[in-house]
Amino acid sequence: MSAPETLEGWFALHDLRTLDRPAWESLTRHEREKAVAEASDLMAGAEDVTDAIAGLSAIYTVVGHKADLLMLHLRPDVAHLHDLERKFDQTLLASYMSRAYSYLSVIEVSRHAAPEGTAENVEDSPYIQARLYPEMPEHSGYVCFYPMSKKRLGDDNWYMLDAPQRAELMRDHGRTGRKYAAKVSQIVSGSMGLDDWEWGVTLFSDDPLQFKKLVYEMRFDEVSARYAEFGPFYVGRRLEPHEVGRWLGE
C-alpha cells in the first residue's frame, strides 16, 4: 500500500500567546507605550512580509481562556518562521506573555483532494497553486484553527484503506465544504514529522457562526465520523497592527 503523493506550499506557524495582565499593568505608561509601538511595528512588518520574498501574516485576538493572541505566519521556509518567532520573543510585550500553544506545519494538497475535472498535472492548476500559496481571504474577520489526525484504531484505520476508498471519502468531504465556499475559506496544512497532530485546519470567515455550521455538518461525513480525531479549537478576531494599543487598553 503506497502513500498518496502530496504537494507542499508555504510553511505555517500558529503562535499563540497569553498575556500576564497584572504584570503588564504594573509597567509605567511610558514603558507600555514603548512596548505597544515596538509590537505594532513588528506586526506591521510581518503583515507586509518585509522578512521574505513571499508569504502571509495575520494577527488575531483569541476569544476565551485558551490564549490571548494568535499570530499566524506563512513563509517559504521554516527559518523565516523561526526568525519571526524570535523577533517577537525579543520585544518588551513578549516578556509579559507566555506561550499558550504553537503549531508548525506546511500547507499541503493531496492529489486525491484535487477537484473533479482537474488536469492530471494538478500542480499546474491555478486552483491548486492558490491553495498552496494563498492570499488573505476577503472574509477574514474571524479565524478558527484546530489540529486533527486520522484514526489508526482497529477497523477504523485510515491508513489501511486503499487509495480509491480514501479518494472517494475525501471527495464527499470536499462537497460538503464547497457548500460554504462563499462564507468560509480554509487552509489545510500537514504536520507529520513537524508537530504532534497530523494536520492543521485554519478557517476564515466574517461570521463565526459559519465555523460551527461547517464543522457540525462535516462531522456527519464518514471521513470525519469514522476516521477523524480533533484537537483543541481556537477562535480569534482579526487585530490590525495599529489596534494593538486599543487591545491592551492603552
Cell of 83: 526568525
Is 111:4 a contact under the CB 8 Å cutoff? Answer: yes
How many other CB atoms sit within 10 Å of the CB of residue 199?
Answer: 19
**d(C-alpha 13, C-alpha 189), whole Å:** 10
| Burial letters 15-24, b for 16+ CB under 10 A, else e | bbbbbeeeeb
Out of 96, 101, 103, 146, the active site residue is 146
User: Does the annotation mark 101 as catalytic?
Assistant: no
Q: Active-site positions? A: 146
